Chain A
């Protein structure tokens, strides 16, 4: 379990992180979302030790991080980079060895990873000869080659086509299943919504929400329901505890004051006419995001 405790960081006069605290649980994928300049990259750099925090600590399983533990982290920075003139496999092996792997171990990990990422055919090509999407896959291999204990990915999906997104997603899910904490940032909220188990929302250097995806969704879910009836739904307007927001023949969107009211509405609907659909309306992640960062 990776924990951040009250991390502060300023660049000159500008305070980029303010008391940032959150937890990344092992075996779960944590999505890290925030607008441009909200502090995502800085937070990740602080986790990796590439930047020092002005104050606050990062702990792994309760103990402050050491430089040695950090070298067992996997990191994919926002600014992608590999040596353009080195061969793909050679480069991943080199990074694996810098992390302390034996040559044989680094080689076998590199080959199986590149195979899974669909780069098996391109192992001996130079990085500069790959398309941007394929360079991106190689970059993910670079972050995963040493079976990291913690994985930190800054925008891992940007620049990937939908098929590549699926490939990478599967590799990451498999990786999270081994029990390591995984945190990734993304602008693509639909992907985060599908992929992550936990969510951290940052805005202006402050954490605005963090916790399990369902928990956050429940917090931001209004007691709002949708109903589609076979007959007219006009009677809903006169039901106590109900506020109708939208109404069109048999369709209605309404808020209730309590769960009991919702149940009463459903029972009455069944008693009077046929019910084609009755469901609570869940907000999408982008709706929650907009609400939270305001």
Chain B
């Protein structure tokens, strides 16, 4: 007889989680798709960098007394040219956007362009009237849209991918019938917890890698201003993501337990898929609608996207993310309770898909 003790719940949960992770990391499909996701993130950060670099100071060539006037604006990358002819040559070969030379007019300067009025240069040299905006927007709308889409896509894609993987691994255990051995070995809630923990860790690692990759990429391409603006909302996003993900994971596991074959799985997880897709589309269409965002930021399924976006926009009071977090945690606990009941009742029922109602009852 060997001497050993029944493992406590936590080590057993970790064993189950560890197996999930090990098997997932062994799957080529998983590794390849993670690699592709990373490449996409890196690619878009670099693309943003190149786009940003193009907005560096306009290059002008200046001649004689124009040099000091142009340099005084601090808005140009100035090249000194010896003569007007030489400055025109620089414009022609494209090494500067325009040439600025002294002239007789009221301003005392002539701007020479190649084939059109270099309006950027002209406006910088013009005297502009005083501008006053009554309700200034903190954020550039383009960036708001990008941030909204980024939160949406990350939550949408990882919840969907990992949710599906969880459901799949539950169905695999049912289909191969190993579940009966497992149930005779460890409590069912350990199985469920292990699955959720293992897959959640994988999802968080993936998100963290994306966040690090995006952060490093933004810094490396000199877009650190954007990083400072997005930073706090990313922290909120991570917090909401972790809890929201656990909630969805429990739902996927329960849905998986209702069916006995991979072929039946799609039907069982469709309702959950909708719960993930609807917030995604809402954020795409209503990212600039504070009312819709406010509702989204309190509904548990869309809070992981809605609340961080509102924090980013600066339209959430300090207590709002906390309240929404409490709602999210409460609903997650409720869903885990119901989900584990369905999971437990569904596991041993082989054959036709189990009805949601029956799984809840028995």
Contacts and interface: CB of A to CB of B under 8 A. Distances in A.
A207 B306 CA distance: 62
Interface stretch (B85-93, B124-132, B180-188, B251-259): B180-188
Nearest to B1: A147
A159 to B, nearest CB: 14
Interface in B10-47: 12, 15-16, 19, 23, 26
Interface string A80-100: 111111100000001101111
Contacts of B177: 77, 79-81
A85 B22 CA distance: 12
Contacts of B179: 81
A229 B172 CA distance: 66
Contact of A83 (B15, B178, B183, B348): B178
Contacts of A143: 181
A146 B350 CA distance: 28
Interface residues of A, number: 38
Contacts of B183: 50
Contacts of B120: none
Given A81-B176, A102-B4, A109-B2, A94 B184 contact: no
A72 B185 CA distance: 8
Given A75-B184, A81-B177, A82-B176, A50 B348 contact: yes
Given A101-B4, A109-B2, A147-B2, A73 B178 contact: no
Given A79-B180, A81-B179, A67 B15 contact: no
Nearest to B186: A98
Nearest to A98: B185
Contact of B181 (A84, A95, A147): A95
- Chain A binding surface SS class: loop
Nearest to B178: A81
* B1, B4, B186: most-surrounded residue (chain A CB, <10 A): B4
Given A72-B6, A83-B176, A98 B182 contact: yes
Nearest to A48: B184
B184 A70 contact: yes
Contacts of A71: 6, 184-186
B5 interface: yes
B136 interface: no
Interface in B184-214: 184-187
A152 to B, nearest CB: 8
B7 interface: yes
Contacts of B4: 99-102, 105, 146
Nearest to B347: A50
A269 B19 CA distance: 74
Nearest to A12: B362
Nearest to A142: B181
Contact of B172 (A48, A83, A105): A83
* A45, A48, A81, A109: most-surrounded residue (chain B CB, <10 A): A81
A51 B23 contact: no
- Chain B binding surface SS class: helix
A131 B350 CA distance: 24
A99 B186 CA distance: 8
Interface in A33-49: 45, 48-49
Contacts of B187: 67
B20 to A, nearest CB: 11
Contacts of B15: 94, 97-98
A259 interface: no
B348 A51 contact: yes
Nearest to A11: B362
A99 B185 contact: yes
B262 to A, nearest CB: 12
A109 B37 CA distance: 42
A153 to B, nearest CB: 12
Interface string B239-259: 000000000000000000000
Interface in B150-176: 172-173, 176
B192 to A, nearest CB: 14
Contacts of A68: 6
A225 B178 CA distance: 50
Contacts of B23: 83, 85-86
Contacts of A170: none
Nearest to A86: B23
A188 interface: no
Contacts of B348: 45, 50-51
Contacts of A72: 6
A178 interface: yes
Contacts of B181: 75-77, 81, 95, 142-143
A48 B183 CA distance: 9
Nearest to B177: A81
A85 B180 CA distance: 18
A50 B180 contact: yes
Contacts of A102: 4
A143 B348 CA distance: 19
B178 A98 contact: no
Nearest to A83: B178
B186 to A, nearest CB: 6
Nearest to B26: A85
* A73, A100, A109, A142: most-surrounded residue (chain B CB, <10 A): A100
A42 to B, nearest CB: 11
Contacts of B184: 48-50, 70-71, 73, 75, 77
A81 B6 CA distance: 23
Given A49-B184, A83-B23, 15 more contacts: A45-B180, A76-B181, A77-B180, A77-B181, A79-B350, A83-B172, A85-B26, A86-B23, A94-B19, A97-B15, A98-B12, A98-B16, A100-B5, A102-B4, A178-B1
Interface of A: 45, 48-51, 67-68, 70-73, 75-77, 79-86, 94-95, 97-102, 105, 109, 142-143, 146-147, 149, 178
12 contacts: A45-B180, A45-B348, A48-B184, A68-B6, A79-B180, A81-B180, A81-B181, A82-B176, A100-B6, A146-B2, A146-B4, A147-B2
